[in-house]
A = this chain, B = another copy of it.
Amino acid sequence: MKAYKERSREELLALKAKLEKEYEDAKGKGLKLDMSRGKPSVAQLDMGMDIFDVLNSQSDMTSLEGVDVRNYGVLDGLTEAKHMMADIMGVKAENVIIYGNASLNVMYDAVSSAVTHGVMGCTPWCKLDKVKFLCPVPGYDRHFSITQYFGIEMITVPMTPQGPDMDLVEKLVSEDESVKGIWCVPKYSNPQGYTYSDETVRRFANLKPAARDFRIFWDNAYAVHHLYEEKERQESILDILSECEKAGNPDMVYEFASTSKISFSGAGVAAIASSRANLECIRKTLTIQTIGYDKINQLRHVRYFKDFEGIKAHMRKHAALMRPKFEAVLRVLEEELAGTGIGEWTRPNGGYFISFQAMEGCAKAIVARCKEAGVTLTAAGATYPYGHDPEDSNIRIAPTYPSPEELAMATDLFVLCVKLVSVEKLLEEHARDASRFGDRLAG
Contacts and interface: CB of A to CB of B under 8 A. Distances in A.
A375 B27 CA distance: 74
Q: Which of A40, A57, A70, A294 has most B Cβ within 10 Å?
A: A70
A310 interface: no
Interface in A280-301: 285, 287-297
A8 interface: no
A92 B52 CA distance: 32
Count identical subunits in the complex. 2
Contacts of A72: 37, 39, 260, 265-266
Interface string A32-73: 000001011010011011001101111001000000111111
B101 A294 contact: yes
Given A56-B53, A57-B49, A288 B146 contact: yes
Interface stretch (A108-116, A313-321, A326-334, A359-367): A108-116
A142 B267 CA distance: 26
B150 A104 contact: no
Given A296-B267, A297-B294, A45 B68 contact: yes
Contacts of A266: 70-73, 291-296
A294 B267 contact: yes
B265 A70 contact: yes
Contact of A126 (B126, B142, B292): B126
Contact of A116 (B40, B104, B115, B264): B115
Given A70-B264, A71-B39, A150-B116, A56 B45 contact: no
A57 B116 CA distance: 44
A123 interface: no
A142 B292 CA distance: 13
Interface string A95-112: 000001110110010001
A20 to B, nearest CB: 35
A249 interface: no
Nearest to A101: B294
For the side of the interface on A, what is the size category?
35 or more
A268 to B, nearest CB: 9
Q: Which of A53, A61, A115, A116 has most B Cβ within 10 Å?
A: A116
Contacts of A126: 116, 124, 126
A401 to B, nearest CB: 8
Contacts of A49: 56-58
Contacts of A42: 68, 71
A64 B296 CA distance: 25
Interface string A136-178: 0000001001100110000000000000000000000000000
A270 B289 CA distance: 14
A102 B291 CA distance: 8
Contacts of A48: 70
Contacts of A116: 112, 115-116, 126, 150
A297 B267 contact: yes
Contacts of A37: 72
Contacts of A295: 266-267
A145 B288 contact: yes
A379 to B, nearest CB: 15
A111 to B, nearest CB: 10
A265 B39 CA distance: 30
B52 A71 contact: no
Contacts of A146: 288
22 contacts: A40-B71, A45-B68, A46-B58, A49-B56, A49-B58, A70-B265, A70-B267, A100-B100, A102-B291, A104-B289, A104-B290, A105-B290, A108-B288, A108-B289, A112-B116, A124-B126, A145-B287, A146-B288, A265-B291, A266-B292, A267-B296, A294-B294
Given A72-B260, A112-B116, 19 more contacts: A42-B68, A45-B58, A45-B61, A46-B58, A49-B57, A53-B56, A70-B264, A70-B266, A71-B265, A72-B265, A100-B293, A104-B291, A108-B288, A145-B288, A265-B291, A266-B292, A266-B293, A266-B295, A267-B297
